[in-house]
Chains A and B, each alone.
Chain A
Amino acid sequence: MRDSFAREMTALAAQRSDVTLLSGDIGNRMFDRFKEVAPARFFNCGIAEANMMSLAAGMALSGLRPVIYTITPFTTTRCLEQIRVGVAYHQAPVVIVGTGSGLSYAELGPTHHSLEDMAILRTLPGLNVVAPADSAELVAQLREALNAPNPTYMRIGKKGEPALHGQDARLGIGKANLLREGSDLLVVGVGPILGEALQAAEALAPTGISVAVASLGGVKPLDGPFLAAMAERFPHWLSLEEHGITGGLGSALLEWLADRDGPAIRLRRLGVPDAFLHELGNQAYTRRQLGLDAEGLAQTIRRAIEERPQ
């Protein structure tokens, strides 16, 4: 996803003169092409994220379209006040990109985990909070964010995430897609971890369990019409996010469900428990430990279906 981001940024910088790219001493060599195309519009702002965020707000208030890139905790919680005041309150159309989000950098420890970012940032008025599941969705959302009147926060993975969306997907901000049809239960998620859900659904199919998988693209705004249609079809949902269980996608869906009139939905939230992780391993190991890999998800789905009242 990182490479798609860099490639798309280079293409956008070539097309328009208002796009700037700000990095917090991160992405070694990644932006070499961007620097060739728009040398005056790339800034290594150093390891000084708070300053970077406020100066991006200043650029945006002067008519530019700055995109900020660094490791997720450093572009979110490290400079939350700068996001809240400079970016969100001013509605300065900055695009804030957090790389290596969720557990992408699991082995780097809690300082590098980002399991609160969506929860915290979706409380800020006027800030889109998106979490593309693959590179195609990232590119579509980035283009849209750079044309939107308001700011956007985008959490992305690192590299090697598989493509999950088909050719005909409607990709963008607040646009959901059904990645896989099914009839027994709906997994509704965001981000590359949806790949695990698709594998779980595939593994369960021969056992007669039919799981649908939806990709929401982000937590704010939610795709209301899509969710309403899903609520008509599926009485049983599992939300899935590589994020803490508190305040993220699962919570956003519970809020949406609570505030609407319609058929009752049983929603169970899957994510990272409310705890810092110390015994570390890589992303695959950590997903497995937390039951968020394909196998763990398949077990959870099977249990959810077995235990549900008929």
Chain B
Amino acid sequence: MIATAPTQRSPAQLAATALTLRQRLVSTSAAAKIPHLGSCLSCVELLVQLYWQELHLDPANPEDPERDRFLLSKGHGAPILFQVLAERGFFPLERLEDFGKAGSVFHEHPPKPGYIPGIEAATGSLGHGLPMALGMALAARIQQRPSRCYALLSDGECNEGSIWEAALLAASQKVHTLTAIIDFNKWQATGRSQEVMALDPLAAKWEAFGWHAQEIDGHDFAAIGQALAAARAENERPSVIVAHTVKGKGVSFMEDDNNWHYRTPNPQELAAALAELETV
């Protein structure tokens, strides 16, 4: 038996959802002064495609043992994951009014499971999510559950040895139910990800590690959907989707400007961002 199938939305509906999420994200981050806006904006399409078209999840029954598992390995993207989970119905949107407030569980990173429905693991220290997703995929195999496991990584996160250790084991164990998606936005915290470490050629590295690798435009719903379908069809190797993205995507003055890894919008910038996000 397969846990609740994903919703089926038209590309226009998905785009509308992405826009709504970007608006809420920018407003909430401005109000709560939570950073990593650029990091969140680069993975909106990836998350929307996953949560509305791909993952077998039931927001009313978030602990269904048969569910697919999604881990935000790049845990500092939590602000957008919280928006996604609320919009998908895991908890009422009003709960995000507490975002960043003293005493709240909604802050910069996802807490451990049990505090926010839909969160599978506490991440925020980079390099943990993929190995944990691998463990969950192996568990599903042993327990004979249909669950597929997904981890969303950042390009900077691919600096961590633990990512490549997981890559080696997943390939030797032929964990084809594991899909890693890399938000390849070309920036890490203090520099270009292709300069800090020799990441290039990223997809070829994964392929050399024994993975089924695909390279796509990470803002194109059709491309993301096709890549996820191809990953699903692969029945030997784990899959990686190297998604080329733009950090800060959707707000012209945030795009590819890594200051928005740290900054939050002032009132003028918020207004300008929302104006852009309304006229798309």
Among A46, A47, A107, A110, find the residue whose CB has the most chain B CB atoms closer than 10 A: A47
**A27-B190, A28-B262, A111-B123 known; A48-B105 Cβ under 8 A:** no
Among B108, B111, B123, B160, contact of A47 (Cβ-Cβ < 8 Å)? B160
CB pair A28 B105 closer than 8 Å = no
Question: Which of A170-178, A221-229, A249-257, A276-284 is the interface stretch?
Answer: A276-284
Which B145-165 residues have a C-beta within 8 angstroms of A? Answer: 156-157, 159-161
CB pair A109 B122 closer than 8 Å = yes
**A25-B190, A27-B190, A107-B100 known; A47-B105 Cβ under 8 A:** no
**A46-B188, A47-B126 known; A107-B108 Cβ under 8 A:** yes
CB pair A44 B196 closer than 8 Å = yes
Among A23, A25, A46, find the residue whose CB has the most chain B CB atoms closer than 10 A: A46
CB pair A25 B188 closer than 8 Å = yes
Q: Closest Cβ of chain A: how far from B104's Cβ, in Å?
A: 7
Mask: chain A, 10-30; 1 = CB below 8 Å from B; 0 = not: 000000000000010111100
CB pair A279 B196 closer than 8 Å = no
CB pair B75 A111 closer than 8 Å = yes
Mask: chain B, 111-139; 1 = CB below 8 Å from A; 0 = not: 11001000000111111000000000000
Decide if the interface of chain B is mainly helix, strand, loop or mixed.
Answer: loop
Which B42-101 residues have a C-beta within 8 angstroms of A? Answer: 75, 100-101
Q: Which residue of A lies closest to B164 (CB)?
A: A48
B191 at the interface (CB under 8 A from A): yes
Among A27, A44, A50, find the residue whose CB has the most chain B CB atoms closer than 10 A: A44
Contacting residues, chain A, for B112 (C-beta < 8 A): 110, 276, 278
Q: Closest Cβ of chain B: how far from A80's Cβ, in Å?
A: 13
Among B124, B125, B159, contact of A25 (Cβ-Cβ < 8 Å)? B159
CB pair B102 A44 closer than 8 Å = no
CB pair B125 A26 closer than 8 Å = no
A180 at the interface (CB under 8 A from B): no
Which B162-212 residues have a C-beta within 8 angstroms of A? Answer: 188-191, 196-197
Contacting residues, chain B, for A110 (C-beta < 8 A): 111-112, 122
Q: Closest Cβ of chain B: how far from A286's Cβ, in Å?
A: 9
Complex CA–CA separation, A108 to B191 (angstroms): 22
A51 at the interface (CB under 8 A from B): yes
Contacting residues, chain A, for B107 (C-beta < 8 A): 107-109, 280
Which A91-110 residues have a C-beta within 8 angstroms of B? Answer: 107-110
Complex CA–CA separation, A222 to B157 (angstroms): 38
Among B108, B115, B189, B191, contact of A278 (Cβ-Cβ < 8 Å)? B115
A153 at the interface (CB under 8 A from B): no
Q: Which residue of B lies closest to A280 (CB)?
A: B107
Contacting residues, chain A, for B161 (C-beta < 8 A): 48, 50-51
Complex CA–CA separation, A143 to B107 (angstroms): 37
Among A108, A276, A279, contact of B105 (Cβ-Cβ < 8 Å)? A279
Contacting residues, chain B, for A280 (C-beta < 8 A): 102-105, 107
Provide a sorted-by-A list of 27 A–B residue pairs whose CB atoms are within 8 angstroms. A25-B196, A26-B189, A27-B190, A28-B189, A28-B190, A28-B261, A44-B190, A46-B197, A47-B126, A47-B157, A47-B160, A48-B159, A48-B197, A50-B161, A74-B125, A107-B100, A108-B108, A109-B107, A110-B111, A110-B122, A111-B109, A111-B124, A279-B104, A279-B105, A280-B102, A280-B105, A280-B107
Sample of 9 more A-B contacts, CB < 8 Å, known A278-B105, A285-B103: A28-B261, A48-B160, A48-B161, A108-B108, A109-B122, A110-B122, A111-B75, A278-B111, A281-B103
